[in-house]
Amino acid sequence: MAEWRQYYQNEDDEVEEDEEDSGGDYKISGRDSLVFLVDASKEMFIKSEDGETSNFDMTMQCVRSVYTSKIISSDKDLVALVFYGTEQSKNPRNSFKHVYVYHDLDSPGSQRVLDIDKLLGEKGAQFAEKTIGSGETSLGEALWCCSNLYSDIKLRLSHKRLMIFTCRDDPHGGDGAKDRQARTKAADLKETGVVIDLMHLTKPGGFDVSLFFCDIVSPPEDESELGLQIEPCRKLEDLQKRVRAKELKKRSQSRLTFSLGEGVNLAVGVYVLARTATKPSAVKLHRDTNEPVRTKTRYFHAHNGGILLPNDMKRAQVYGKKQIVMEKDEVDEIKKFDDPGLVLMGFKPMDRLKLHHHIRPALFIYPEEEQISGSSCVFTALLLKCSEKNVFALCRYIPRRNTPPRFVALVPQREELDQSQTQATPPGFNVIFLPFADDIRTLDAHVGPTASDEQVDKMKEIVHKLRFKYKSDSFENPVLQQHYRNLEALALNMLEPEPIEDLTMPKVQMMDARLGPLAQEFKDLVYPPDYNPEGKPAAKRKTAESGGGAAEKKPKAEISEEELKNHVANSTLGKLTVPVLKDACKQFGIRTTGTKKQELIDALTMQLSK
């Protein structure tokens, strides 16, 4: 009999599944593709007014960061790098002049990162001048070449995006024929599902988008898209932020029906805004060829060694001294509570939601107009009313079939824009998972000495001095950063990995400068005059009374056959520990097929029931 727990997952497994599923499945949805179309004209190589870096160098640094992030997060995606306005020509069949395909559409790798490193800095500008040069510009030819790159790909692509990097708002210098050709090719690309974005860079006199590029770029895909930015990018951080916001495809974890009442339904998409960053799982390789290997699991009969198929196995649970045997379909039917979706139960004021109700990372829901027409209108009205009345919606949430329901709180979140009028916070509902009553325990708090009012006031001063504005994205996991730096050093043949700064370590000097004499004053109030916190700790007590010897091992707990039979008769073998059950099996010469507790109990029950 198969063990019940193999088929009944607990809620921790569901949390892990939700986080893993958030990345999407390439086999089902296809791969994302991204083409960088970079202007290689002489204006791109002119350094900025402060003399720090040129627009071309800033673009290459941004492209390199996208390559490295793709290698870590989504190495199945396809990326290409194409230069236009070049002197040299290099493209499939060399049918387009002044277009240089530096990288074809393919998965990112270490060699591509090394190729981009050759284009960075002063040496990179000299290398680019020798390799590609600067010549005439025909954006229409470049877009046509990019269209051929997409058509040559035989894989299924879920999302196609093209980013244009330039500092020239009129690339053809008023040539109407070239402008019309570029607009025509851009329209053809957009008809095939390619999204064209403009990452315009700063130039003397300002960048006028309305001159030419407003007809080239794609309109916003939905209300949450940033759309065309009017202000050009002046710093690398701004360019990376804008590229990251565009190239990261917002994949919904699932699409569900949100029921507000009888006959009133709307469609919402469930998104994961934050997830735990972990090291990628290890990949098993063949010893001789280093090729990835696939693992297969087969079940064999314990007595005759025959292979067991899924329909040969049944599920069992001991209840009332009887073994209840069920088929897999029956187990699934027991686990099913209702169809997946959100069901509105009511509304509660925001002050009823406590901080200790947080039990796992929250999700985020946003309307899906394509699924049910009118969902955005109803969703927006509900969001505004909940925000105005300062209430949250209490709902029942079932993420998928055969999963237990959870109660969640839908907390409204208004849209927020930053200084550049870019969306910093999207509008929607945060899905807060609520604990059940059994999850909350009452603990007996340890009663210690009570601090005096003077000590409390002094500590308040210390806390006030050490306060700072906390941002979660300001602190990177040092273990993960060191792990990826090591991998990067191995892949790029670096002598040693780049050093990292551990931002989680306290800044002792800054803290001492802020506190001044407050720390010593607090010590004088709390500790006695002769207290030394850095003194030697007390010596450890010897483990054995005989002095210095090792402690005696505890004797093994033996159990008689009569006691075991009583446990079997009363179905109380589960109260015994695993070591006791193992010793009992050895004591009576019972062979077991496994070491799990249920397997030991089954073996003892079968032997002693004869």
Cα end-to-end distance, the chain, whole Å: 19
Q: Which of 549, 609, 554 is nearest to 583 (CA)?
A: 554
On whether the CB atoms of residues 159 and 29 are closer than 8 A, the answer is: no
> Which strands, in side-by-side order, build the sheet including 157-166?
99-106, 78-84, 31-39, 157-166, 194-200
DSSP 577-597: -HHHHHHHHHHTT---S--SH
On whether the CB atoms of residues 502 and 478 are closer than 8 A, the answer is: yes
On whether the CB atoms of residues 353 and 430 are closer than 8 A, the answer is: no
583, two tokens: 């010793």
Classify residue 355 as left (phi > 0), alpha (psi -120 to 50) or beta.
alpha
Q: Which of 512, 507, 524 is nearest to 458 (CA)?
A: 524
What's the distance, CA 11 to chain centroid? 19
Q: Which residues contact 85 (CB under 8 A, 6 or more apart)?
A: 39, 40, 41, 98, 134, 135, 136, 137, 171
Give dist(CA 62, CA 216) in Å, integer.
Answer: 22
Q: Which of 78, 79, 80, 99 is nearest to 88 (CA)?
A: 99
Q: Which residues contact 564 (CB under 8 A, 6 or more apart)?
A: 573, 584, 588, 604, 608
Q: What angle do CA 171, 177, 182 make, to 5 degrees?
A: 55
Q: What angle do CA 198, 199, 201 make, to 5 degrees?
A: 125
Catalytic residue among 27, 130, 321, 553, which? 27
Return the sign of the alpha-carbon dihedral for residues 176, 180, 183, 186.
negative
Classify residue 76 as left (phi > 0), alpha (psi -120 to 50) or beta.
alpha
Q: Which of 218, 166, 212 is nearest to 192 (CA)?
A: 218
Give dist(CA 236, CA 339) in Å, integer.
Answer: 48
Active site residue 385: no
Give dist(CA 610, CA 607) in Å, integer.
Answer: 6
3-state secondary structure of 30: coil
Give dist(CA 251, CA 271) in Å, integer.
Answer: 7
Residues noted as catalytic: 27
